Amino acid sequence: MTDSPAYRLPLDPQEQPILDRILHIRDNLSLLKQDRSTHIKSQDVIHHYNELIEQVDKLNAIRETKRDEQNRVDTVLDDCFQLISLFFLTIGRNSEAPAVYSAISTVKRLLDHLKEAGFYSPKDLESIRDHITQWRHSVRRGKDTFSDSLLTLLDARIGVCESILQDLQQNLSKLDPEMMGTYEKLVSILRSLSACNTRSKFPAKEVQDFERQLLEIQDQLHETRVTHDGKTAEQVYAERLEQMSLTEGEVADGPTVVRALLARCLLWVEIIQEKQGKIDSRFEETYAHLVKIRNTLEQMNLTHAWSLRETDLYSYQRQLDRIDASRRDGNFLSPVTNEPADLHAQRTLLYLLRKSYSFVYQYIVSSEPVSEALLPIYNQLLTLKRCLVEVKRSGGVDSPRELYPYSMKLNSIDNMKKDGKFMVGNDIPEGQASVTALLAECFDLAYDLREESQQHEESNGVETSNEVEVAS
C-alpha cells in the first residue's frame, strides 16, 4: 500500500492505541478498495467512517491542550480520510461533506503549484472557484449529519484554498480583455512547450513553430527579445523567478504581466532547445516516475467513465504527495548529493507534478453522483442520450421504425427496475434519482423524434395525395 509522507516526531504513549486502531481501519479500507469481486456498499463505507470518527474524538480529547501536535497518527488519519472521501465518490454520495476531503486536498496542492509556477489561465481559476463554492455548500449542509471535527477541518482547508485563489485572481486583475487574450495564448504556448519538453522524442519542429508564434506576439507588442550576454538563459530565467518572489503581493499592470510572461516563454524555448529533452542524470529516476504517473493518468482519460473506480486515484495521490513532500523550500533535491536541481530540471519536474495533480482533480470533479453499481446502466444511458441528440441535430429520422433499436434498449433498461428502483441484489444503490432522470430524458428525446417523424410522414402523405388529385 502506498503510504503518505511520514512524520518522525515522537508519539505520545496515550495515542498508541489510536494509531493501532486507525492502522487497522486503513488496512480494511485498502482491502475494500482492492476487492473488485463486488460493488462497494454504502453501509460498509459509513461503518468505516463512524469507526474513524470515534478515534478522532478520542484523539481530540487527548490533545485538548496541544492542538498543534503532528505525528504519525495524523498522517495515517489523513490516509483514512482520503480513502473514505474517495469511497463516498465511488458510492455516488458526491455532495456530502466527507467526499470533499480528497478534492480539497488535491486542489490545495494544485493551487500551490500554480502559484509556484507563476502562470495560469483565468479558466483554471474559474473552475476551481466554482467547485470550491460547491464544496463549501456541501460542508454547510452536513452540519447536522457529520462530525464537527471533520467539518471544522474542511472549513479551514477551504478557507486556505479561497485565500490562495484570491491572491492568484488578484495577480490578473489589471489585465484588460485585449491583454487577457494575449496572456491566455502565452499560457497555452508555455504549457505546450513544457509538454514538448517531456516527450520521449524531443519534437524540434513543433518547438520551432511555438517559437515563431512567440516572435509574432513579440512583434505585435513592439518588444525586443531579452539578451543575456555573459549569462545563460537558465540564469536569466532564475533571476526573473527571484524577482517575482521579491515582488509577491504587488499587482503589476496588464502590459507588464504580459511582457514578463513573454520573456519567460522565449527564455524557456531557448533552454529546452538546448537541453533537447535531456534532464540532469541525478533526477532521471524522479523524472521517469513522474512521467509514468502522468502518462497513466492521461490514458485513464479515455476510459475512466467506464472503468475508473474513484478509489483507484488514491495510490497516485500518495505517490505524488511523497514526491512533493520530499522537496525542500520548493526544490527537488538530489537523492545522492542532496543538492538542488538546476532550473531546467526543477521546472520540468514541477510541470509533471502539477499536470498529474490536475488529472486527479479532473477525475474527482467529473465523478458522477451515481454508485459504481449503477454506473454500467448510467453510462449506457449517457451513450443513448448522445446518440439521440446527434440524431435530432442531424435532422431526425424519416420513419418511426428507425427509432426501434433505441426504444427497445430504453424499454429493456426501464424493465430492470423493481418497485421503481434499480436494484443490485437486495441493495438499492445511491444515484437512483440521477439514473431515473437520465432515463426520462432519453424517453423524451425518443418521443420528440417519433412525433417529428410521424408529422413528416403525414405531411408527405398529404402532399402526395394533392399531387395525385392534380394529376387526375
What confidence score (pLDDT) does residue 284 get? 93
**pLDDT digits 0-9 by tens, 158-169:** 999 999 999 999
- Rg of the chain over CA atoms, in angstroms? 28
What confidence score (pLDDT) does residue 307 get? 64
pLDDT of 447 higher than 90: yes
What confidence score (pLDDT) does residue 301 get? 78
Q: Which of the two residues, 243 and 49, has the higher pLDDT score?
A: 49
For residues 54-65, give the mean pLDDT.
89
- Cα(324)–Cα(109) distance, integer angstroms: 9
**pLDDT digits 0-9 by tens, 270-308:** 999 999 999 999 999 999 999 999 999 998 877 665 567
- Cα(213)–Cα(190) distance, integer angstroms: 11
Integer angstrom CA distances of residue 62 from 12, 13, 146, 295: 9, 11, 21, 44
pLDDT of 153 higher than 50: yes
Q: Measured in whole angstroms, how far is the alpha carbon of residue 156 from the centre of its chain?
A: 21
For residues 111-120, give the mean pLDDT.
92
- Give per-residue burial for 407-437: e unless 16+ CB within 10 Å, then b: bebbeebeeeeeeeebebeeebbbbbebbbe
**pLDDT digits 0-9 by tens, 170-193:** 989 889 988 999 999 999 999 999
**From its phi and psi, is residue 227 left (phi > 0), alpha (psi between -120 and 50) or beta?**
beta
pLDDT of 2 higher than 70: no
Confidence band, pLDDT 50/70/90 cuts, at residue 368? confident
**Pairing outcome for strands 421-422 and 417-418:** antiparallel
- Cα(402)–Cα(123) distance, integer angstroms: 42
Q: Which of the two residues, 336 and 97, has the higher pLDDT score?
A: 97
Q: Where is average pLDDT lowest: 1-5, 309-313, 438-442?
A: 1-5
